[in-house]
């Protein structure tokens, strides 16, 4: 079966507001106040909790960045999990696009570098978990993206054929993951990097989810 696998943060949903809020909770705990902002730091938010802590600590010129990341990362995860969907929204048209893919006969799943438990919780809170046949998180397997194995397992657990799959994402990590498995990558242009992702040379760009079915058919051919 031909399969479409989605990244989560920055691809299915704009999670930057809640991620930044969790990081700022840590900085407030350090006595520093809010260090990051969604307007300036959304792109870093999509690279994960450690990246946000590192950026903030660099701005603070902290002398022990690695030590502080190790100390505060669990705190960040706890803060994020406690308030995971206050600001998060699905991108326009995404669930209509997923429905169109399923209706055309494609399998769909998720492969994210968000911890699996948090990803499951978020998708449940957003009310869309049942639309996806698989979900692989950062800690589901011993390896994470850009290793191709999480993508391969996301396809297999969705009932698909890894050789006939495509990854929809928004970062270099997704580009490298798809390339490592030898399958096409589609990068969205509505994230914080905009059309800057074109420089990563994906097989296709996606400006709006209304166009996804046509893009997938162009890359994989009809599902049946």
Topology of domain 3-14+88-220, CATH: Rossmann fold (3.40.50)
Q: Is 130 in the active site?
A: no
CB 197 within 8 A of CB 178: no
pTM recorded for the entire structure: 0.94
Asked if the model's pLDDT at residue 186 lies above 90, the reply is: yes
Two structure tokens written together for 190: 């509505």
Residues in the chain: 224
pLDDT of residue 193: 86
Cα–Cα distance for residue pair 12/139, rounded to 1 Å: 19
- Which residues face 9 on adjacent strands? 13
pLDDT of residue 102: 98
pLDDT of residue 182: 98
* 192 band by pLDDT with thresholds 50, 70 and 90: confident
**Residue in 7, 18, 170, 193 annotated catalytic:** 7
pLDDT of residue 224: 79
Q: Is the peptide bond before 146 cis (omega within 30 degrees of 0)?
A: yes
Asked if the model's pLDDT at residue 191 lies above 90, the reply is: no
* 200 band by pLDDT with thresholds 50, 70 and 90: very high
- Of 36, 74, 40, 77, the C-alpha closest to 58 is 36
Q: Could you tell me the residue ranges of all domains in the chain?
A: 3-14+88-220, 16-82
């Amino acid at each position: 079966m031909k399969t479409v696998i989605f990244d989560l943060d920055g691809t299915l949903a704009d999670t930057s507001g809640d991620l930044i809020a969790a990081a700022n909770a840590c900085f407030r705990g350090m006595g520093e106040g809010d260090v990051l902002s969604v307007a300036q730091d959304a792109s870093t938010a999509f690279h994960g909790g450690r990246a946000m802590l590192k950026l903030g600590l660099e701005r603070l010129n902290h002398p022990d960045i690695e030590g502080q990341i190790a100390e505060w990362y669990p705190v960040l995860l706890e803060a994020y999990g406690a308030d995971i969907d206050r600001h998060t929204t699905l991108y326009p048209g995404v669930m209509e696009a997923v429905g169109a893919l399923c209706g055309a006969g494609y399998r769909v799943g998720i492969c994210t570098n968000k911890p699996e438990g948090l990803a499951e919780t978020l998708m449940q809170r957003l009310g869309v978990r049942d639309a996806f046949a698989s979900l692989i998180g950062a800690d589901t397997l011993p390896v994470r993206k850009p290793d191709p194995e999480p993508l391969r397992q996301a396809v297999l657990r969705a009932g698909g054929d890894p050789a006939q799959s495509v990854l929809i994402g928004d970062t270099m990590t997704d580009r490298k993951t798809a390339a490592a498995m030898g399958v096409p990558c589609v990068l969205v242009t509505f994230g914080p990097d905009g059309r800057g992702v074109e420089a990563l040379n994906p097989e296709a760009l996606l400006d709006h989810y209304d166009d996804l079915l046509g893009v997938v058919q162009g890359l994989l051919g009809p599902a049946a």
